[in-house]
Structure 1
Amino acid sequence: MWPADIEVQAGQIIAVFSVKGFKVATAESCTGGLIAGALTEISGSSAVVDRGFVTYSNEAKVAMLGVEAATLAAHGAVARQTAVEMAEGAVQHSAADFAVAVTGIAGPSGGSADKPVGLVHLAAAGRNGGLLHREMRYGDIGRSNVRLATVRTALEMLMQIAQAE
């Protein structure tokens, strides 16, 4: 079902997090649950995956993750600040040690000069206060490809923040 490289990445996360006793949550907008799906494809994921939030609308970001309405008004859904608040909110609203959050424009529509199709903001947060952010500009490579590229980057960031622990 998944490209082999994503399955390998997800398997590594499940293995490492299992050994360290870490739990993970996801907060997803443009990927619509694909990150959680990739992780739960792996046997043993129930020991690691706490929950996934699919917060496609701004209202869901506020209600489920505690993203500030003022942040959305000032910066929009696709912004560094929003991704960071999503990741921190996912940790706060779960039993997870780490969370990854993604928000972006997968296309083919919805882009602008400031926020083109393929722009994705990702953040990873740890209960210990650790925080990572990446702004990715994948380009107009097609909706499915933007979403898969985002899953790959999100999984990389989860491994990176956990290894800093």
Structure 2
Amino acid sequence: MMSNDLQRLAAQLGAVLEARGWRLAAAESCTGGWIAKCITDIPGSSGWLERGFVTYSNEAKQEMLGVAAETLAAEGAVSEAVVREMALGAVARSRAEIAVAVSGVAGPGGGTPAKPVGMVCFGFAFPDRVETETCYLDGNRDEVRRASVRHALGGLITRCDATADTPADAC
């Protein structure tokens, strides 16, 4: 069951996207489709969610989203460079006007000193720009993933609607 905060954010995002006539594509790695799940829990979401890509492996990122093997080799899957390419690839391979991309280390293992558990990178592609950011989120695997979904939804709202009353969670 979706938590009230995620449901509220998904509904608010839907209203913002519907008002703009925009459709969204979600390119997800560590969230495993959770962003798309939250959105599709909202009645009428077929009007503004165009599609979702769950690209957990590097091969999926390359094949489904066009992420360059060179970017993955140089920067690693958890990087702003990769989520930028994921977001751009999601727009290019869909009929969406905007996209969100997420890749991170949810744990409990897999972290390194350079990329610790809780490090999550976000990419936001819009018709006129692409923005990326990195957050360091606390908690266990479920908490990091939930916070990632919350941040992605809030980040989309904030970037789509400067008058939004729900700012994205700070990193």
Secondary structure, counterpart of 1:132 in structure 2: strand
Specify the alignment match of 2:117 in structure 1: 117
CA distance in structure 2 between the partners assigned to 1:72 and 1:151 by the alignment: 23
Matched letter for residue 147 of structure 2: A
Matched letter for residue 74 of structure 1: A
Deviation at 1:15, TM superposition (A): 1.3
Matched letter for residue 125 of structure 1: A
- 1:73-92 deviation digits (Å, cap 9, x = unpaired): 00100011001110111011
- 1:132-165 deviation digits (Å, cap 9, x = unpaired): 21200013x100000000001100121123226x
Corresponding pairs, count? 162
Of 155-164 and 35-44, the range deviating more from structure 2: 155-164
Specify the alignment match of 1:29 in structure 2: 29
Secondary structure, counterpart of 1:113 in structure 2: coil
Matched letter for residue 128 of structure 2: G
Secondary structure, counterpart of 1:51 in structure 2: strand
Q: Which runs of 5+ in 2 are unaligned?
A: 163-171
Specify the alignment match of 2:91 in structure 1: 91
- 1:10-48 deviation digits (Å, cap 9, x = unpaired): 000111211221100000000000000001100110100
- 1:39-63 deviation digits (Å, cap 9, x = unpaired): 1100110100000000000000000
Specify the alignment match of 1:133 in structure 2: 132
1:158 matched to 2:156? The reply is yes
Specify the alignment match of 2:142 in structure 1: 144
Q: Is the 8 A contact 1:118 1:138 kept in 2?
A: yes
Q: Is the 8 A contact 1:120 1:150 kept in 2?
A: yes
Secondary structure, counterpart of 1:147 in structure 2: helix
CA distance in structure 2 between the partners assigned to 1:137 and 1:17 by the alignment: 27
Deviation at 1:111, TM superposition (A): 0.3
CA distance in structure 2 between the partners assigned to 1:79 and 1:20 by the alignment: 30
Specify the alignment match of 1:107 in structure 2: 107
Q: Give the ranges of 4+ consecutive aligned residues of structure 1 lying more than 3 Å apart after TM superposition.
A: none
Matched letter for residue 158 of structure 2: Q
Q: Which runs of 5+ in 1 are unaligned?
A: none
Deviation at 1:100, TM superposition (A): 0.2
Matched letter for residue 43 of structure 1: P
Secondary structure, counterpart of 2:91 in structure 1: helix
Specify the alignment match of 1:62 in structure 2: 62
> TM-score scaled to structure 1, two decimals?
0.95
Secondary structure, counterpart of 1:114 in structure 2: coil
